[in-house]
C-alpha cells in the first residue's frame, strides 16, 4: 500500500506522493486511501468522517480503565494497554464479515487519539474531556488535551504531521501488527502489539530522544564538540539513519517545511538552529555512508512548538500510524496465512541427560 525509493527519497501511499497528500488532503482522506486503495469521493469522505465521529467516543468503562493506569507509566505503555483494553469493551470482530472488520478498524483509528489525550489528562491530574463530532481527528486530539478550541494553525500542522506518519511499508511495528493479525486476531490486539514495537528508540521512540538530545547541546557552537564526543563513544545520533533511505527521508524534508511555517507564525526556537548545525555536521561525517536525517529528526520541534510534552511524541506517531496498521490488518485478512519464520538451529544435539548430582 506504500512505495519507497530509498536512494531517491521517494514515498508514495497507494501511488500518490506524500508531498501531494500532505499539501492537499486531510488525515481522514489519507486514512480512507490507505484502507480502501482510492481517494474518497466527497460522499464517501462525509460518511467516513461521520463514522469516525461516532466511533471515537470511548465507553465509560474504557475511560475508567485508562484513569486507573499508574501515572508513572510512559504514554506509549498506556497506549499499548489502552488498545488491548479497547478490545475488551468492543464487539467481537467477525473475520469473515467485511462490515465487522471495517467497523473495528475504523474504531481503532477514531479512538486512539482520544485515548492518548486522556492519559495526558490523567497524568496532569485533570478530568476527561469528551471528543466532539464536529472536529477533525487532529483538532479533536488538541481539544481532548486542553478542553479548548485549538488554533487553526495548530490543527492544520498536526493534520499534516499525521499524514506524513500514516504508513511506511513493512517497518518493525507494521510487521509486528501483521504477525499478530496472522494468528487470526482482531485489530485491537494487533495494533496493541504494533505499538509495543513502535515504542523502542530504534523505531518511533527516537523522536522524543531527538528533542532531549537537542536540549543537551549548548548552542550552535557546541554542536561539533558534542558530535565528536558521540562518535568517540560510538553512540548513535538519534534522528539519523534509516534501513531503507540512504538519502534525506522525504518525511523529514516535509516536516522541516512544516516546522519553518510554524516558526514563521509563532516564533522560532534556538533548538532549530542547533538542529540545522547538527544536520550539517552529521551529514558531512556520515552522509557518505547513507546516514541522513530521518522522519524523527524534525517532528519533535513541530510538536514542541505546539506545546506538547516530549514523551507524547511517539504516541502521536502511533495515532497516525494506526491508519497504516489497520490497512495492513485488513489486507492480511484478505488472504491470511500464519507467519511462522524458519530458524537455523546452531546449538548442540542429542546430549546425554546429566542428573543434578553430576552438574
Ligand atoms: N548515528 C551514528 N551512526 C549510525 C547511525 C546514527 N544515527 N545510524 C547508523 N549508524 C552507523 C552504525 O553505527 C553502523 O556503523 P558500523 O558499521 O561502523 O558499526 C552503521 O551505521 C550501520 O548501522 P545499523 O544500525 O546496523 O544500520 P540499520 O540499517 O539497522 O540502521 C537505524 C537503521 C534506524 C536502526 C539506525 O540508523 C539508528 O539506530 N538510528 C538512530 C535511531 C533513529 O533515529 N531511529 C528512527 C528510525 S526512522 C523512524 C522509525 O523507524 O520510526
CA dist 191 and 82 (Å) reads: 10
Choose the catalytic residue: 165, 242, 328, 333.
Answer: 242
User: What is the atom index within ligand 1 of the atom nearest the CA of 294?
Assistant: 48
Catalytic residue status for 242: yes
Mean pLDDT of the chain: 97
pTM of the model: 0.96
Whole-number Å distance, alpha carbon 6 to ligand 1 midpoint, is 14
Query: What is the largest distance, in Å, between two alpha-carbon atoms of the chain?
Result: 76
Which cell numbers in the block locate residue 209? 530522544
pLDDT above 70 covers a percentage of the chain that reads 100
Instruction: Show Cβ contacts of residue 212 under 8 Å, excluding neighbours closer than 6 positions.
Output: 310
SS3 of the chain: the string is: CEEEECCCCEEEECCEEHHHHHHHCCHHHHHHHHHHCCCCCHHHHHHHHHHHHHHCCCCHHHHHHHHCCCCCCCHHHHHHHHHHHHHHHCCCCCCCCHHHHHHHHHHHHHHHHHHHHHHHHHHCCCCCCCCCCCCCHHHHHHHHHHCCCCCHHHHHHHHHHHHHHCCCCCCHHHHHHHHHHHCCCCHHHHHHHHHHHHHCCCCCCHHHHHHHHHHHCCCHHHHHHHHHHHHHCCCCCCCECCCCCCCCCHHHHHHHHHHHHHHHHHCCCHHHHHHHHHHHHHHHHHHHHCCCECCHHHHHHHHHHCCCCHHHHHHHHHHHHHHHHHHHHHHHHHCCCCCCCCCCCCCCCCCCCCCHHHC
pLDDT above 90 covers a percentage of the chain that reads 100
Residue 321: the pLDDT is: 98
**Residue with CA nearest ligand 1 atom 19:** 234
Choose the catalytic residue: 168, 186, 296, 328.
Answer: 296
Residue 65: the pLDDT is: 98
Tell whether ligand 1 has an atom less than 6 A from the beta carbon of residue 296: yes
Residue 138: the pLDDT is: 98
Pocket of ligand 1, candidates 211, 236, 321: which has the most ligand atoms within 8 Å of its Cβ, to mutate? Answer: 236
CA dist 247 and 242 (Å) reads: 9
48-59: pLDDT as tens digits: 999 999 999 999
244-286: pLDDT as tens digits: 999 999 999 999 999 999 999 999 999 999 999 999 999 999 9
User: What is the atom index within ligand 1 of the atom nearest the CA of 210?
Assistant: 44
111-150: pLDDT as tens digits: 999 999 999 999 999 999 999 999 999 999 999 999 999 9
Whole-number Å distance, alpha carbon 311 to ligand 1 midpoint, is 21
Query: What integer is the mean pLDDT of 334-354?
Result: 97
71-94: pLDDT as tens digits: 999 999 999 999 999 999 999 999
Whole-number Å distance, alpha carbon 202 to ligand 1 midpoint, is 8
Residue position matching grid coordinates 511517539: 314
Residue 182: the pLDDT is: 98
The model's confidence at residue 291, banded by pLDDT at 50, 70 and 90, is: very high
Class of domain 206-305: mainly alpha
Residue 231: the pLDDT is: 96
**Residue with CA nearest ligand 1 atom 23:** 241
**Residue with CA nearest ligand 1 atom 36:** 241
Whole-number Å distance, alpha carbon 292 to ligand 1 midpoint, is 10
141-197: pLDDT as tens digits: 999 999 999 999 999 999 999 999 999 999 999 999 999 999 999 999 999 999 999
Q: Where are the domains of the chain?
A: 2-201+309-332, 206-305
**Residue with CA nearest ligand 1 atom 1:** 236
The model's confidence at residue 46, banded by pLDDT at 50, 70 and 90, is: very high
Which cell numbers in the block locate residue 158? 498536526
Class of domain 2-201+309-332: mainly alpha
Which cell numbers in the block locate residue 267? 516564533
**Residue with CA nearest ligand 1 atom 26:** 243
Query: What integer is the mean pLDDT of 12-37?
Result: 98
Tell whether ligand 1 has an atom less than 6 A from the beta carbon of residue 187: no
Tell whether ligand 1 has an atom less than 6 A from the beta carbon of residue 259: no
Which cell numbers in the block locate residue 174? 507494521
Which residue from 310, 284, 296, 223 is spatially nearest to 256, judged by alpha carbons?
Answer: 296
Which cell numbers in the block locate residue 213? 538530545
Residue 317: the pLDDT is: 98
299-337: pLDDT as tens digits: 999 999 999 999 999 999 999 999 999 999 999 999 999
Amino acid at each position: 500500500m506504500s512505495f519507497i525509493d530509498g536512494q531517491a527519497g521517494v514515498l508514495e501511499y497507494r501511488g500518490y506522493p506524500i508531498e501531494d497528500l500532505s499539501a492537499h488532503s486531510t488525515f481522514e482522506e489519507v486514512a480512507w486511501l490507505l484502507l480502501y486503495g482510492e481517494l474518497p469521493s466527497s460522499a464517501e469522505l462525509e460518511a467516513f468522517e461521520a463514522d469516525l465521529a461516532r466511533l471515537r467516543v470511548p465507553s465509560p468503562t474504557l475511560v475508567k480503565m485508562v484513569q486507573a493506569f499508574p501515572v508513572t507509566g510512559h504514554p506509549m505503555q498506556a497506549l499499548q494497554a489502552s488498545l488491548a483494553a479497547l478490545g475488551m469493551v468492543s464487539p467481537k470482530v467477525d473475520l469473515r464479515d467485511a462490515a465487522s472488520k471495517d467497523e473495528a478498524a475504523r474504531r481503532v483509528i477514531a479512538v486512539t487519539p482520544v485515548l492518548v489525550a486522556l492519559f495526558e489528562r490523567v497524568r496532569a491530574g485533570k478530568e476527561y474531556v469528551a471528543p466532539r463530532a464536529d472536529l477533525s481527528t487532529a483538532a479533536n486530539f488538541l481539544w481532548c488535551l486542553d478542553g479548548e478550541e485549538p488554533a487553526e494553525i495548530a490543527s492544520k500542522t498536526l493534520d499534516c504531521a499525521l499524514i506524513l506518519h500514516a504508513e511506511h511499508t513493512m517497518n518493525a511495528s507494521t510487521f509486528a501488527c501483521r504477525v499478530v493479525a496472522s494468528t487470526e486476531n482482531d485489530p485491537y490486539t494487533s495494533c496493541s502489539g504494533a505499538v509495543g514495537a513502535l515504542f523502542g528508540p530504534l523505531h518511533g521512540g527516537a523522536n522524543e530522544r531527538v528533542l532531549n538530545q537537542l536540549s543537551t547541546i549548548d548552542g550552535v557552537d557546541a554542536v561539533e564538540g558534542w558530535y565528536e564526543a558521540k562518535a568517540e563513544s560510538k553512540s548513535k545520533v538519534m534522528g539519523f539513519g534509516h534501513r531503507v533511505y540512504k538519502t534525506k527521508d522525504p518525511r523529514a524534508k516535509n516536516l522541516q517545511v512544516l516546522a519553518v511555517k510554524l516558526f514563521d507564525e509563532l516564533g522560532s526556537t534556538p533548538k532549530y538552529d542547533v538542529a540545522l548545525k547538527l544536520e550539517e555536521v552529521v551529514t558531512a561525517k556520515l552522509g557518505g555512508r547513507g546516514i541522513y536525517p530521518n522522519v524523527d529528526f524534525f517532528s519533535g520541534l513541530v510538536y514542541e512548538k505546539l506545546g506538547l510534552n516530549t514523551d507524547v511524541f511517539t504516541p502521536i506517531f502511533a495515532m497516525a500510524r494506526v491508519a497504516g496498521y489497520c490497512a495492513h490488518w485488513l489486507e492480511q485478512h484478505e488472504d491470511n496465512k500464519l507467519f511462522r519464520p524458519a530458524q537455523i538451529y546452531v546449538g548442540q544435539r542429542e546430549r546425554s541427560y546429566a542428573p543434578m548430582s553430576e552438574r
